[in-house]
Amino acid sequence: MSAINPVMIAGLILAGGRGTRMDGADKALIMLGGETLLARTIARTRPQVGRLLLNAQGDPARFARHGLPVIPDPIGDHWGPLCGLLAGLEHLQARWPEIGWLASFPIDTPFLPLDLVAKLADALAGGSSEIAMASAGGQLQPVCALWPVALAAPLRQALQQGLRKVEQFAQGYRLTTVSWPEHDFLNVNRPDDLQRASLRLHLSTMP
């Protein structure tokens, strides 16, 4: 398989979680260094893909200023990021069938690598793997991955059969991983994580 044309890759920011470890806060709207996590994620991911989508529940009007299509989970009640991934895959099939790949990004990882999609796509160029997933510090980052849109139907079936873990679904296919430094995937799950992210941002702006 030849290299994947970036125009044929859409991106999906997964922001459909309940934010339970952040006292129920809407993670997309949490502020970090004067910007929301959503704004920071858009800035880091939009240049990497041909189109960018947002998976979120509730009133989409709160994200209107960003100009992204907002797609809710198509089935279930907060079934997790795997259901958000299904939303993105099925949206592409219905609206942009010419796009063959979907890159998924978490909303709560504000320092995502700027070469994330390019390196994941390179890892798939040989054709021996079907899914490429990021790894950092020896740990898989299941939500940071590149997926063929053709997996929409088997993913819907897997969800309806009770599967909920992204990594478990991916391991049912030919999976390759690409490694980055651990600090690129600092995850804002709890208030103390937000403090760590704020400190990193402050240190990065110091002369």
Domain boundaries, the chain: 6-205
Q: Model confidence over 172-201: pLDDT tens digits?
A: 999 999 999 999 999 998 889 999 999 888
Strands 51-55 and 9-14, by their bridges, are: parallel
Query: In the predicted model, is pLDDT for residue 44 greater than 80?
Result: yes
CA-based angle 65:81:144, to the nearest 5? 85
CA distance 88 to 119: 21
Query: In the predicted model, is pLDDT for residue 43 greater than 90?
Result: yes
Higher pLDDT among residues 206 and 27, named by residue: 27
**Residues linked to residue 54 through DSSP beta bridges, in sequence order:** 13, 70
What CATH number matches the domain at 6-205, 3.30.720.210, 3.40.190.10, 3.90.550.10, 2.40.40.20? 3.90.550.10
Instruction: Judge contact between 158 and 202, C-beta under 8 A.
Output: no
pTM of this prediction exceeds 0.85: yes
